Structure 1
Amino acid sequence: MDGYIYILSNKAMPGLLKIGTTTDIESRLSSLFNTSVPYPFTLLFYSQVMESYRAETEIFNRLNAYRCNDSREFFEIDLDKAKAVVSSVIEEINGLYVDEELDRYYNVWTCPD
C-alpha cells in the first residue's frame, strides 16, 4: 500500500474537516498537534489507498466547492458527505490494483458514533 487518506476534526475549528494523505497516521496526528492549534485533532476516518497523492488530488477536485482555502486541506462539509466522496475515490483507485496483497491489507476505519 502506498499510504492513507484521513479525515480529521478539531474542536477549535467547528464545522471544518481536514482531509489529507500520510504514510503514518500516528506521526501525522502528532505533527499536526505541534502546529500551534490549541487542541489535538480527532481522527474520524482513514483508509489505505494505492497512489495516495493521486487519490488526494482527485478528492480535492471533487470537494473543491467545500474547500476553505486553495492552499489548505480544510473543507466545510458534512462528515458523511466527505466520507462518501473519499470512499468513492479510494474504491476507484484501489480497484485498478487487483492483487492478493491489496486484498490482505485494504483497511478502512471510521470513528464510532
Structure 2
Amino acid sequence: MEFLRWDCHDVAKWIESLGFPHYKACFTENFITGRKLIYVNCIYMPRLGVKDFKDIQVISACVRELLGITETLWSRSIADPQRDAMSLFLERKSQTGEQADSLTYQQFLDDMEQ
C-alpha cells in the first residue's frame, strides 16, 4: 500500500499517468495525498475541479482499483452487510496522526475481532 505514503505531487503524477495531466493542479491545489484518495469519488471530484462526467467515472474507477475497493458507496443499501475490512482500514489510514501512521492492516483486523 505504497500509495498511502504519496504526497499531493505523487498523486498528481499518478493522475497524469492515467491520461489526465490537465487535472494535476486540481489535486495538488486541494492537497490530495494518497491517504485522502479514499474520499475522492464521483461526488467529491467536481469540488476539486474535475467536471467532465466521463473523466470523473474513469478517475473514480481507477481510485477504487488502486485502493482495492470493489463496491461503490452509492450502490449500498442499509440492509447490506458491513463493508469489507479493506475499505474500513483505508478510512482509518486516511486520517493523520501517530495512531493512523502506525496502524497496520493486521492490527486493524485484530482490533475488529475484539
Higher relative contact order (CA 8 A, sep 6+): 1
TM-score for both structures, normalised by structure 1: 0.30
Higher helix share goes to which structure?
2
Higher strand share goes to which structure?
1
